[in-house]
């Protein structure tokens, strides 16, 4: 321990440097707490953890259809608590060849007497397959607004990447529909 | 005695002020330590009453005493008050009393900030407790306040809870900065870091943990505040946020937090066991390195609280192995305590009894922690009473026993009087039996599948719950005996010698008992016995 020892009685010890360093750590860690938010999204995007799917897919090259494999894609719909809409897929599952562009349709209807703005949030299981599920068009990329009694058929166009691991034979795509009427104004402003 | 008082009669700088303003304005580390300890004890009783409401309701299946809504408020407030109001302030109180005396410093480095960091606390907890009287009741989402339960579905009083947490955080951070500056800058000449008593070491590391994670806690409650009031969507999936993010940020704070509550306890026990074994502490250096290792590991294991939310298998494996790694430095510590006692001339005064109980029961809590670290097993144990049993074993006969051991051990130094040994031992045995009757059966109900945080349960759990409730009332009411013993010791009793305990080492035992209002105005020369 080569650290010099100060004699507290000889003259008042200056604590200033130590205090500023420690306050620096405190402020830094407060900022780090907020940094975890974008960090979390980046890690989930890069690794596909948590079943998060990416935004609109732009094919980087021609995807070759793999006619030797079939993958079953199941569709699940959920309403978040307090969301009154009817929400269901038109088909429960489709079996596709990887690389083939496919369209599925989802039906929503607003049965209550007020206008509601909705946002669907997707999630794919198994998680490690999420990054191989590409959506070129999805109602989850935008918000839906329905007045009383209005209904809507919502399209999803997707392609399963041929590079999907061999052990994945079934993908489950789950949508949860959120009522975001309260927040819609401020979100739209962003 | 009176002659001594008259000598200092008109010299204000050598004694405390009179009346209530002494306590409000004090900058003396001993006064502030006392304030912290009394505050902590009041909170301990408050949180304890809430625990007894919980156990009374769970005495039998079915709803007898309270409604489920109120039951949830009790579990939440019990957790928050015990963690932030009882255990943490008690250790800060011990640090205030002991750190300057152990390193030969005249006071804490930043005395006025010290006063401020204490006096924030009564306001923080008044704010938190006042939510019980508000419309919609107190926070009811568990001490972990997971979003969206706390953001979308919490009561209106959640905002008061958030500001309460902010205040507690500010208090802890200021207290920690004070401890670090004191230890780094005010050690007596010649006292190198590796000559410091282990209590000082553990507190130095704890203080660093606190300034690293309390700001993250402040951040997470700030995000909640913004989600609730300013339409942000940190944790709201409908707005692009993610509820799982909450758990990551919370446990990034939460796991180091549990070590914040146990590391100073390690320091206390490392001071007491050598005294009553009449041997020097075995493996001092390895104790320091083990403490530092535990502190480092605490930052990289947080997701073991979240195995069931859905983590990829690689993540589960990593967090499982990293968590199990903590058993290595912890094992080093337990080994060293046992080796210190090995072939020692042991006597079993009350502080030693609490310390030995600490070693045994904390180890049981550590082992159930290892069981919980096993991912496939955790899916069975998660959110059951097994978890409740686990963390109460490390917190009650762990942290709380060490605090009681510390009070018995240093009380003669603080007050100048010996406590009544028979009453002390009675208190120990009542507490020891009470704790085990309360929490041991909860391992069984948990393994059998009883979920935590429920006011009612299936009939098959009835017997163990009844036993557990009986133990809780025994343990709870024994603490009134503790209060009685402490007050009686303050008021009088056999005079303590300066060294108090035959085998005690350390600078605090070289000053008179009771410790004068100002100590080490000139730094001590002889540091040969600075640590046990």
CB B308 within 8 A of CB B378: yes
Check CB contact under 8 Å for A6 and B189. Answer: yes
Integer CA distances (angstroms), B289 to B179, B198, B284, B285, B439, in order: 20, 11, 9, 6, 32
In 3D, which of B397, B336, B441, B473 has the Cα closest to residue B87? B397
CA distance B308 to chain A (A): 12
In B, which residues are within 8 Å of A187 by CB distance? 231, 233, 239
What's the pLDDT tens digit per position in A122-132?
Answer: 888 887 888 88
In A, which residues are within 8 Å of B523 by CB distance? 7-9
pLDDT at position A190: 40
For residue B399, what is the DSSP state? I
In 3D, which of B411, B389, B412 has the Cα closest to residue B472? B389
- Nearest CB partner across the interface for B239, out of A29, A81, A187: A187
In degrees to the nearest 10, what's the CA dihedral of B323, B179, B199, B268? -80
What's the pLDDT tens digit per position in B16-75?
Answer: 878 888 999 999 999 999 999 999 999 999 999 999 999 999 999 999 999 999 999 999
Angle between the N-to-C axes of helices B111-130 and B29-57, in degrees from 0 to 180, rounded to the nearest 10: 20
For A105, the token pair is 């349709």
Distance CA A185, CA A187 (A): 5
Name the pLDDT band for A54 (thresholds 50, 70, 90): low
Give the whole-number percent of chain B exceeding pLDDT 90.
Answer: 89
Distance CA B240, CA B258 (A): 31
For B86, the token pair is 């009882």
Specify the pairing of strand A71-79 against strand A170-179: parallel
pLDDT at position B12: 45
Does residue A62 sit in helix, strand or coil?
coil
ipTM: 0.88
In B, which residues are within 8 Å of A32 by CB distance? 215-216, 219
Superfamily of segment(s) A52-189 = Ctag/Cox11 (2.60.370.10)
- Structural domain boundaries of chain A? 21-51, 52-189
Mean pLDDT of A84-101: 92
CA distance B112 to chain A (A): 14
B417 forms bridges with which residues in the sheet? B495
What's the pLDDT tens digit per position in B438-485?
Answer: 999 999 999 999 999 999 999 999 999 999 999 999 999 999 999 999
Check CB contact under 8 Å for A5 and B109. Answer: no
In terms of CA atoms, which chain B residue is nearest residue A13? Answer: B185
Specify the pairing of strand A86-89 against strand A133-138: unpaired
Angle between the N-to-C axes of helices B462-491 and B421-447, in degrees from 0 to 180, rounded to the nearest 10: 160
Check CB contact under 8 Å for B312 and A127. Answer: yes
Check CB contact under 8 Å for A29 and B216. Answer: yes
Taking the Cβ of residue A47 and every Cβ of chain B, the question of whether any pair is shorter than 8 Å is answered with: yes
- In the predicted model, is pLDDT for residue B110 greater than 60? yes
Does residue A109 sit in helix, strand or coil?
strand
- Nearest CB partner across the interface for B238, out of A44, A121, A128: A121
Mean pLDDT of B508-517: 94
């Amino acid at each position: 321990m080569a650290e010099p020892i100060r004699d507290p009685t000889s003259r008042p010890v200056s604590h200033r440097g130590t205090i500023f360093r420690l306050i620096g750590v405190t402020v830094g860690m407060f900022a780090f707490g907020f940094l975890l938010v974008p960090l979390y999204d980046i890690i989930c995007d890069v690794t596909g953890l948590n079943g998060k799917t990416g935004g609109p897919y732009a094919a980087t090259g021609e995807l070759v259809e793999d006619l030797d494999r079939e993958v079953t894609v199941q569709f699940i719909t959920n309403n978040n608590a307090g969301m009154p809409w009817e929400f269901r897929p038109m088909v429960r599952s489709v079996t596709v060849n990887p690389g083939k562009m496919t369209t599925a349709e989802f039906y929503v209807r607003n049965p209550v007497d007020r206008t509601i703005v909705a946002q669907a949030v997707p999630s794919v299981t198994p998680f490690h397959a999420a990054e191989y599920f590409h959506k070129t068009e999805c109602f989850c990329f935008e918000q839906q607004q329905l007045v009383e009694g209005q209904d809507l058929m919502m399209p999803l166009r997707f392609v399963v990447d041929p590079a999907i691991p061999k052990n994945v034979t079934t993908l489950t795509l789950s949508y949860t529909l959120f009522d975001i009427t309260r927040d819609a104004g401020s979100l739209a402003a962003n | 005695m009176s002659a001594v008082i008259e000598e200092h009669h008109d010299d204000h700088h050598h004694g405390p002020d009179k009346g209530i303003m002494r306590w409000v304005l004090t900058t003396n580390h001993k006064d502030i330590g006392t304030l912290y300890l009394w505050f902590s004890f009041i909170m301990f009783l408050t949180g304890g009453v809430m625990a007894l409401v919980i156990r009374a309701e769970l005495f039998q299946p079915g709803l007898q005493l309270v409604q489920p809504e109120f039951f949830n408020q009790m579990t939440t407030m019990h957790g928050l008050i015990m963690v932030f109001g009882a255990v943490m302030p008690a250790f800060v109180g011990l640090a205030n009393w002991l750190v300057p005396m152990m390193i030969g410093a005249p006071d804490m480095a930043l005395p006025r900030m010290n006063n401020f960091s204490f006096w924030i606390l009564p306001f923080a907890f008044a704010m938190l407790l006042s939510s019980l009287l508000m419309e919609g009741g107190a926070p009811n989402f568990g001490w972990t306040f997971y979003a969206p339960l706390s953001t979308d579905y919490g009561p209106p009083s959640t905002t008061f809870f958030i500001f309460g947490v902010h205040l507690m955080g500010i208090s802890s951070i200021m207290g920690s900065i004070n401890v670090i500056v004191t230890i780094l800058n005010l050690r007596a000449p010649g006292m190198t870091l590796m000559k410091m008593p282990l209590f000082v070491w553990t507190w130095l590391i704890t203080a660093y943990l606190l300034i690293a994670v309390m700001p993250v806690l402040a951040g997470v409650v700030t995000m909640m505040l913004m989600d609730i009031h300013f339409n942000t969507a940190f944790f709201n999936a409908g707005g692009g946020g993610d509820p799982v993010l909450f758990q990551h940020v919370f446990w990034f704070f939460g796991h180091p937090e549990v070590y914040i509550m146990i590391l100073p306890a390690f320091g206390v026990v490392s001071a007491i066991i050598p005294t009553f074994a009449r041997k020097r502490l075995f493996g001092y250096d390895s104790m320091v390195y083990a403490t530092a290792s535990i502190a480092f590991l605490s930052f990289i294991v947080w997701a073991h609280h979240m195995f069931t939310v859905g983590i990829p298998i690689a993540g589960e494996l990593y967090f499982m192995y990293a968590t199990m790694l903590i058993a290595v430095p912890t094992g080093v510590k337990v080994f060293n305590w046992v080796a210190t006692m090995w072939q020692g001339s042991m006597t079993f005064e009350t502080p030693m009894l609490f310390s030995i109980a600490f070693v045994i029961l904390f180890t049981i809590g550590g082992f159930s922690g290892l069981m919980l670290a096993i991912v496939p097993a955790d899916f069975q144990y998660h959110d059951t009473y097994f978890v409740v049993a686990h963390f109460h074993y490390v917190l009650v006969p762990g942290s709380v026993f060490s605090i009681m051991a510390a009070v018995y051990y240093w009380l003669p130094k603080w007050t100048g009087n010996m406590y009544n040994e028979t009453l002390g031992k009675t208190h120990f045995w009542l507490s020891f039996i009470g704790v085990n009757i309360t929490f041991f059966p909860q391992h069984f109900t948990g393994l059998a599948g009883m979920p935590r945080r429920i006011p009612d349960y299936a009939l098959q759990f009835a017997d163990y719950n009844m036993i557990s409730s009986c133990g809780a009332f025994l343990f709870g009411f024994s603490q009134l005996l503790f209060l009685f013993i402490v007050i009686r010791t303050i008021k009088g009793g056999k005079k303590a010698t300066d060294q108090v305990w035959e085998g005690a080492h350390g600078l605090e035992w070289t000053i008179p008992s009771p410790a004068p209002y100002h100590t080490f105005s000139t730094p001590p020369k002889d540091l040969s016995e600075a640590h046990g």
